[in-house]
Structure 1
Amino acid sequence: MRRKKVCVWHGLHSCPTRKLVCAAIHEKQYGSPWDDRVGITVSVPLPSDVRNVPLEAEARNKLAAASNQEQQARRSVRQELAQVFVHLTAAKDTFRNSVLSADDMNKRANEMVRSWQAGETSLIELLRARVLRTAHCRRVIRRRSLGMPQSSGH
């Protein structure tokens, strides 16, 4: 006995998700207690509002979430960039102040040497000015090597 069920079509309007289904079953029976069966089902979803509206809504939600994440990332990058510029400006100011302070210390020490040579100042005042200049230079060098901001004080 040979039976063959070739194709079964489900109607487009009977299924709420509007699928086109094609099923085929091939059966053989040759006096054996076992049946040989082969089956295949192909299901193709057809475009419809029932199927597409939820997919479109999900896609819109994902797009909105991605846009929100992009805006947040841009905000955080702008904020970090602003902080970097603030730190850079502070570092420039600190460096400028250190250079000015070192120049002032050198001028004072040089004037003290001239004043001592002219006999206007005592040796102690000259040595004090040199010690202050040396201490300031060491402090600047130490802070630079440690990566610390430099003080602007004299």
Structure 2
Amino acid sequence: MAQQRSIFETPDRLNMALEKIHLDDTLLKAAIDFDNLQERRDHPPAKQDNGGRRYLTQRVECCEDIRTPTRLFPFSQLLHGRTAIHVAHKHGIEDRTADIRKLRKLIHEYAELQANPALVLNISAAHQARLAIASLEAPAAKKQSKKKTVSCTTSIADKAR
């Protein structure tokens, strides 16, 4: 299987990628918002009823075709609120959904690249500043999940109690 190449193998590739998506402040804010939602650092505004169903409070036109939450699928609207399509509509850049995803990936790769400053210096100053701000606001470090191990063995004496 071929190894996936990083966009940061050469700084010129990074600059070309950033120029191709026409980076602006609205796109940067949307990408940071999308990353925070995907990494579960932030949650879409929603209200919950007694049945555990979550309803989005900020609905936009992309939410019209999303099913109403039920007891079997209580998070249908909440999951939609975490998508790039919803974030793009919320920020008013509906036609730039793919750019939001690409920029999120670039932010994560830039944050990982911080260990090799020699490559970072070859990136244009404007792009470097914007990516640095974004990588601070949306860190690439994944949350380490600490799962509790529960023993399923019980003795007959425990069951009798």
Structure number with higher strand proportion? 1
Structure number with higher helix proportion? 1
**TM-score in same-fold range (> 0.5):** no
Q: TM-score range by the shorter chain?
A: under 0.3
Q: Which has the higher contact order (CA 8 A, sep 6+)?
A: 2
Quick check: which has more Rg, 1 or 2?
1
Please report the TM-score for the alignment, with normalisation by the length of structure 1: 0.21
